[in-house]
Structure 1
Amino acid sequence: MPNGLTPIKIISSGIALPENKIESWQLDIKLNKPKGYVAKRSGIEHRFHAKDNDSQAELAAKAIHHALETQHIVPHSIDMLISASAISVQALPCTAAHILEQSSLKQGIACFDVNASCVSFITALQVAAGFLATSQYQRIAIVSADLASRGIDWQDQESSLIFGDGAACMIVEKGDGTSGIITYHHETHTKGIELCEIRAGGTRKNPRAGMTDDDFLFHMQGKKLFRMASSLVEDFMQQVLTDSKLQLNQIGTVVPHQASHLSLEHMRQRLGVKSEQLIDIYRFRGNQVAASIPSALHEAIISGRFYGQPNVMLIGTAAGLAFCSMVLIP
């Protein structure tokens, strides 16, 4: 085992998308904008939005089943399920329980949620590695599923153009020790805590404490958020590289949160990530919140840009304001 490596192996991946495909020109009409406006402003050609009665748990289960079928994995071999979603199905019980109910996985297995907003999947991968290290659990399914469209504020032009729905699953084992996590780094800067939020759904905004319909919608102060993230991300990236004892040119593939067209361009222009390193699925998915990073990772896997690479970086920003990254050997 390489020195300092936390062993974990991704053995299969899968995704699921709602049937409802939304072309950018359809949003031009919805928002009463000239043809081509949304595509130009958002950088998205199409994305997927769930219907009002579609189930988040069912979408997550479909992603799990895709991952199982891809590598012919027996459902009963999974002994832990982690839901790594930004928005829960309901306050209680946990979203993982709802997903287990809809899936073909074995009843009685351990299941729980890891919620770190848009970087939930990276955090869950680190948590899974810890459980696998105990050898009490042998095979873990991590699934992220978010229906971002449910929280879109169509009066807010800045944020309403960027979101899509989806789910992605990774199935992991401890492996033989040749693959694993080199470094995991997570920072939260609460000066940005109100720059990206959904206020309702917890104890802060509810019928007794007081709430409005607007509190259930996604709110983002985009310009302030981008400025703050931009001022911090270069130092964050340097810390990740320092911790991993690697240079950026030693990273074969960079899998970022598909936050926005501007954020991906910032990675290219300011952080120096080359286009051939970067996984960019934003034009065809939009920002899928927590499902964004594992969906992009699935794309890296199926396009031959994960296995065989010397090192892979997962990186993203999230509400909080949080930054999270992992460097691993596939």
Structure 2
Amino acid sequence: MRHLKIVSHSRTQGSEKLEFQDGTRYRFPYQALNDYQLQMYEEVAQEALSRAEITIQDIDLIVVGCAGMVQMIPSTSALLQERIGKGTGIPCFDVNSTCTSFVTALDVVGSLLETGRYHRALVVSGDLVSHYINPAQEESYRLFSDGAAAFIVEATEEEVGIVYASQETWSEGAHETEIRGGLTHLSPTLWSEDNAQEYLFDMDGFAVLKIAMRKLPKMFKRGLQESGLTVDHLDKLIPHQASPALSLVTKKLKLKEGQLIDYYAEFGNMVSASIPYTLSEALDRGEIQEGDLVALYGTAAGLTLNLMFLQL
């Protein structure tokens, strides 16, 4: 076990509420120049600090896990530090495994806390996905919400923390979920009305689902075997709230009634915020409590799969 304790958490979502056939979505209005993403990050970070009754000076590491950076340079975490801790010198870095970035970030932070290098970390995840989804691609357009979540975690001697974690990337799915334009592959200088869709989100949902159906249950089974656990040991499971097809993958895990936390219809797919937002929401609702053993898992572009067993 890598020992870490959740000190506090917070979450937020887009300002506009939209209703689609399969649920509610929260998005910010489109503006070419805006601070919505950093506003979300600042809001959740400050609320998490307030709920923990500490200040930014009590944090010795800031990690942002997101799919879409605020800008190419500098890191998004540095831009967040500018808003909440300018002049503190707190080390910052970004983690990007797209939709499962929070799990990857927590995995990395857990290792750093365990070595004793850092004591208390602020982990923020969230995406302004409404600004790069494609309205013409109906399959994906209705799925997403803007959102962000923050968790403050600290090193502890208590028997809580990361029991098990694994990550796999199956690059046969690398091009099933992507945004091709905007960086060196297709420079912003090459944008035109003819290739504008290359700069927007593109997904083949059926192809992603086929890979997930094959790979995720096997990964989950292997994780249980390697950790010495069974599904019955898990109090709750929080998947990436990707789409209504979530239930198809989950059926293969043979869960008990009430184990799965599914808020997709309420909030949609929040990309990197999906898992931490759901965890924060479930904690505040009392559906997850101190002492629970929770599984965090899901698929992301790449195609990447993450799994973590977290003892609260």
Q: Does 1:48 align with 2:26?
A: yes
Sequence identity (%): 35
Cα separation, partners in 2 of 1:207 and 1:72, compared to 1, 3 Å: closer
2:7 is the alignment partner of 1:11: yes
Sort the Cα spacing of 1:141 and 1:105 in 2 relative to 1 into closer, same or farther, 3 A.
Answer: farther
5 Å matches for 1:171-250? 171-207=152-188, 212-250=195-233
Paired residue for 1:281? 263
State whether structure 2 residue 39 is matched by structure 1 residue 58.
yes
Distance 1:198 1:234 in 2: 27
How big is each residue's C-alpha offset from its partner over 1:119-162, in whole Å with a ceiling of 9 and x where there is no partner?
11011101111221232321100000101111111111111110
TM-score (norm 1): 0.88
* Residues 162/275 of structure 1: CA separation in 2 closer, same or farther (3 Å cut): farther
Task: Check conservation: 2:102, 2:272, Cα contact below 8 A.
Answer: yes
User: How far apart, in 1, do the equivalents of 2:209 and 2:302 lie?
Assistant: 13
Residue in 1 that maps onto 2:243: 260
Amino acid at match of 2:18: I
Cα 1:239–1:261 change in 2 (3 A) is: same
**Matches of 1:21 and 1:317 in 2, distance apart?**
26
Corresponding residue SS for 1:145: strand
1:77-132 Cα offsets, whole Å, 9 max, x none, are: 11111000111001110011111122257631001101111111011101111221
- What residue identity is the alignment partner of 2:53? H
Report the alpha carbon displacement of residue 314 of structure 1 after superposing the two structures with TM: 0.5
| Number of the residue aligned with 1:297 | 279
What is the match of residue 130 of structure 1? 111
- The aligned residue for residue 305 of structure 2 is 323
The alignment partner of 2:299 has SS state of strand
* Distance 1:147-1:200 versus aligned 2 partners, 3 A rule: same
Q: Counterpart of 1:224 in 2: which secondary structure? A: helix
**Whole-angstrom distance in 1 between the partners of 2:112 and 2:235:** 27
Secondary structure at 1:273 match in 2: coil
Match of 1:23 in 2: 19
Letter matched to residue 167 of structure 1 = A
**What do the CA deviations read for 1:154-211 (whole angstroms, capped 9, x no partner)?**
1111111100000000100011231011111110000011100011232111046777
Q: Deviations over 1:44-64 (max 9, x none)?
A: 1x1110122342111111111
- TM superposition shift of 1:272: 1.8
1:230-282, Cα deviation, whole Å (9 max, x unpaired): 1212111111111221110110011110001111x124422223341111121
* 1:157 counterpart = 2:138: yes
Cα distance in 2 for partners of 1:207, 1:50 equals 23
CA distance in 2, matches of 1:312, 1:281: 16
Distance in 2 between residues matched to 1:305 and 1:186, nearest whole Å: 26
CA RMSD between the two structures = 1.7
State whether structure 2 residue 290 is matched by structure 1 residue 308.
Answer: yes
Conserved 8 A contact 2:177-2:301: yes
1:112 maps to 2:93: yes
1:92 maps to a residue whose letter is I
Change (3 A) 1:149 1:274: farther
Amino acid in structure 2 at the alignment position of 1:141: L
User: Distance between the aligned counterparts of 1:270 and 1:152, measured in 2?
Assistant: 30
What are structure 2's unaligned runs of at least 5 residues? none
